[in-house]
Homo-oligomer: A and B are copies of this chain.
Amino acid sequence: MNKEQVTARYRTPDGLPVDIAIFTITSHAKPGSYKMLADRKLEVLLVRRSARSSAFPGQWALPGGFSSESETLAEAAYRELQEETNIGADVHIEQVKTVYYPGRDPRGWMPSVLYCALVNEDRLRAISPDTDADEAKLFELDEALRLNLAFDHKELLNDALTFIQTKMMTTTIAKEFLPRTFTIRELYQVIQTVVPDFQEDIANFKRNLLTTKTRQGLIREAIGSDGEPLTTDRNSNRPAQLYEFADYEPRISIYNSGMF
């Protein structure tokens, strides 16, 4: 096909929707007279479609909307995020994939560019159902996947999940779910929350992370303004050392265990 014979001769899409899977990890403190590690759960934000919708009325769906000619796709995703939450700037947003196949949307030729956002729970205090009449709610992931979601959003949600699971193991995005400084155990919990398959002795996890040559520069001890190492007692009575991610994205390989 020749790119020159464009709009005149060919039908054009009916829009270019952008959908976004907004993930967060919530921690629920366990009751008890002693301080214990919080339960962490991976949750995703869904919105309920209006009862008057022409397609999938009343069903839960990923937040989304149409991108416009005057904005980038990431800007459109960001705008959707803003409309459903009250999160400010510098949120981590990544494009997952773009889908289209005939029949995926009863309203016509509707591709969808899928984004995902990783949001720290601290920044998701109030989910503002906003001016829109639509309802927005965080669901635990399993629950969300059991719902009868609108469109092909169940597949999209699964794709987004696989995407962040891969990223969780191969990049430092765990930091998006953590405060700037965190304990080793918190990091470990976040990884396990997103990737339940990840099972490892925490003592070894810690040693491998901190004392291993190939992982030098990944995280470092958090140092306070007084030059002393920072600690926290938010997870236990005994204070724990705080760490922070350094600016290093390791490159890994299946061919030589470790980095290259």
Q: Which chain B residue has the least Cβ–Cβ distance from A3? A: B65
Question: How far, in angstroms, from A55 to B15 measured CA to CA in the complex?
Answer: 24
Number of chain copies forming the complex: 2
Cβ contact within 8 Å between B71 and A169: no
Question: In the complex, which residues 167-202 of chain A have their Cβ closer than 8 Å to any Cβ of chain B?
Answer: 169-172, 191, 197-200
Least CB separation from A72: chain B residue: B101
Task: Determine whether the beta carbon of A113 is less than 8 Å from that of B101.
Answer: no
- Residue from A2, A7, A255 whose CB has the most chain B CB atoms within 10 Å: A255
Task: Please tell me if the beta carbons of B67 and A100 are within 8 angstroms of each other in the complex.
Answer: yes
Chain B residues whose C-beta falls within 8 Å of the C-beta of A198 in the assembled complex:
253, 255, 260
Q: A3-B55, A73-B98, A73-B111 are in contact. List 19 more A-B contacts (CB 8 A).
A: A1-B80, A1-B83, A3-B107, A4-B50, A6-B107, A7-B15, A10-B15, A10-B68, A71-B102, A95-B98, A98-B113, A169-B251, A170-B252, A172-B254, A209-B255, A212-B257, A218-B254, A254-B259, A257-B258
